[in-house]
């Protein structure tokens, strides 16, 4: 993309590699979850960085996401974390995407498509141990379902589950782990051995070594996002994303002057007001109006009034800002930092949502 506007997301692939190496267990593989365009960071770039750092698998939510990785020349194993949608099975298997299965219909469709690829097809059976989105439920039925997979001629490449509250509830996490292990024990008693058993998301990878099993499956932590309760900082993860722009206009306005749509913000004193070309069309949420700070010249300054589609105004007080000054929306400047989690707290959500909703019209640039 040709870039004229100064608003850009910069992704530090060195930070991604650092985080993967920090998360890598000594005796288990690591699947890097790069769904949602790599949590808004750029899936192909992030995928390559994670593989460079030692990841052996990639995880995606959609068949389309897996196909895009293949189009970028990435040939590592890719697990699609939900069942293939009807009609996608042949293309997905032809691209060597690994299916998750957990329903009789999903299994039948993969089995039918498997006859067209001319090679053995491995699947991962997902067990619902309490999250209740998708998976074989109840967990006690999963061993029987897995036996059906093997009897149908497919390979049981993996058995897995997803934790509902690893960042908050150790008791629940261990109960879910126990249910998955019980399914595995029953299968092994019948002579069936899944190649990989996996359960640990970002929080579990950091908090509960017993959940590492054969492979961990972190997502948010790879990007230096906080899985919850300040784990990113305490674990030494490095945020990979910086969102920045620049001042395009400065006006000196008198105390009491209202600014932006609805005149909901009045300057408490004479102030320099900076215009910055970023808005809600870029993913800078309107609810941040008059509540969020940005960094200019190493200091925090408040967004003044309503966030508009393409621009925000910033109350810079007596700071001697000028056109061209860097503006940091997420990231560091001087001794100050604004995190995705800080913006998420204002919005009433998590840092993951903040970064994944930065729109495609904001170019991504890469370093490291």
User: What's the pLDDT tens digit per position in 59-72?
Assistant: 999 999 999 999 99
CA distances from 72 to 43, 45, 50, 65, 100 (A): 10, 9, 15, 11, 23
The verdict on 178 and 283 lying in the same domain is: no
> Could you tell me if 24 and 221 are in contact, meaning their C-beta atoms sit under 8 angstroms apart?
no
Q: Are residues 168 and 258 in the same domain?
A: no
Q: How confident is the model over 277-290, as pLDDT tens digits? A: 999 999 999 999 99
For residue 206, is it within any domain?
A: yes
Q: Which of 35, 39, 223, 265 is catalytic?
A: 35
Rounded CA separation 274/245 (Å)? 12
Q: Which of 175, 193, 223 is the last residue of a domain?
A: 223
Q: Annotated catalytic, 35?
A: yes
- Whether residue 8 lies inside any domain: the answer is no
Is the same domain home to 143 and 193? yes
Average pLDDT, the chain: 97
Give yes or no for a contact between 39 and 352, defined as CB atoms under 8 angstroms apart: yes
Does residue 282 share a domain with residue 203?
Answer: no
Task: State residue 1's pLDDT score.
Answer: 64
In whole angstroms, give the CA distance from residue 329 to residue 302.
11
Does the pLDDT value for residue 151 go beyond 70? yes
Bridge partners of 366, per DSSP, are: 11
Contact criterion met (CB below 8 Å) for 297 and 324: no
| Residue of 338, 243, 342, 239 whose CA lies nearest to 283 | 243
Q: Check pLDDT > 90 for residue 3.
A: no
Parent domain of 165: 13-223
pLDDT digits (tens, 9 = 90+) for 17-59: 999 999 999 999 999 999 999 999 999 999 999 999 999 999 9
- Residue 2 inside a domain? The answer is no
How many domains does the chain divide into? 2
Looking at the structure, do residues 121 and 247 belong to the same domain, yes or no?
no
Q: Which of 90, 223, 261, 284 is catalytic?
A: 261
Indicate whether 136 and 265 sit together in one domain: no
pLDDT in tens, 155-203: 999 999 999 999 999 999 999 999 999 999 999 999 999 999 999 999 9
Please check whether residue 61 lies inside any domain of the structure: yes
Say if 103 falls within a structural domain.
Answer: yes
* Residue finishing a domain among 177, 196, 223: 223
Residue carrying the six token digits 């595995």: 184
CATH number at residue 250: 2.40.37.10
Q: Which of 111, 110, 340, 129 is nearest to 239 (CA)?
A: 340
* Residue 7 covered by a domain: no
The CATH code of the domain that includes 136 is: 3.20.20.10
């Amino acid at each position: 993309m040709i870039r004229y506007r100064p608003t850009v997301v910069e992704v530090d692939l060195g930070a991604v590699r650092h985080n993967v190496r920090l998360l890598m267990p000594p005796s288990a593989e690591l699947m890097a979850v790069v769904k949602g365009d790599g949590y808004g960071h750029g899936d192909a770039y992030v995928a390559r960085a994670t593989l460079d750092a030692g990841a052996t698998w990639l995880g995606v939510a959609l068949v389309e996401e897996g196909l895009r990785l293949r189009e970028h020349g990435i040939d590592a194993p890719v697990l699609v974390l939900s069942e293939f949608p009807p009609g996608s099975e042949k293309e997905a298997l032809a691209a060597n995407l690994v299916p998750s299965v957990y329903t009789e219909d999903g299994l039948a469709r993969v089995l039918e498509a498997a006859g067209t690829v001319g090679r053995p097809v491995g699947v991962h059976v997902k067990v619902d141990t309490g999250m209740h989105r998708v998976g074989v439920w109840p967990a006690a039925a999963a061993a029987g379902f897995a036996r059906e997979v093997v009897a149908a001629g497919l390979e049981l490449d993996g058995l897995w589950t997803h934790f509902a509250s690893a960042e908050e509830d150790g008791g629940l996490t261990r109960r879910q782990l126990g249910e998955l292990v019980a399914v595995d024990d029953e299968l092994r008693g019948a002579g069936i051995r899944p190649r990989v058993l996996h359960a640990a998301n970002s929080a579990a990878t950091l908090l509960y070594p017993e959940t590492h099993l054969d492979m961990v499956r972190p997502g948010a932590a790879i990007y230096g996002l906080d899985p919850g309760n300040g784990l990113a900082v305490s674990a030494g993860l490095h945020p990979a994303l910086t969102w920045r722009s620049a001042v395009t206009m400065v006006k000196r306005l008198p105390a009491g002057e209202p600014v932006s749509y609805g005149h909901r913000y009045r300057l408490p004193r004479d102030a320099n007001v900076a215009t910055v070309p970023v808005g809600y069309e870029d993913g800078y949420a309107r609810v941040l109006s008059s509540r969020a700070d940005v960094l200019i010249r190493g200091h925090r300054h408040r967004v003044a009034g309503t966030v508009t589609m393409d621009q925000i105004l910033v109350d810079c007080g007596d700071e001697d800002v000028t056109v061209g000054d860097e503006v940091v929306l997420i990231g560091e400047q001087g001794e100050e930092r604004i995190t995705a989690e800080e913006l998420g707290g204002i919005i009433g959500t998590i840092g993951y949502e903040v970064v994944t909703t930065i729109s495609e019209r904001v170019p991504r640039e890469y370093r490291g």
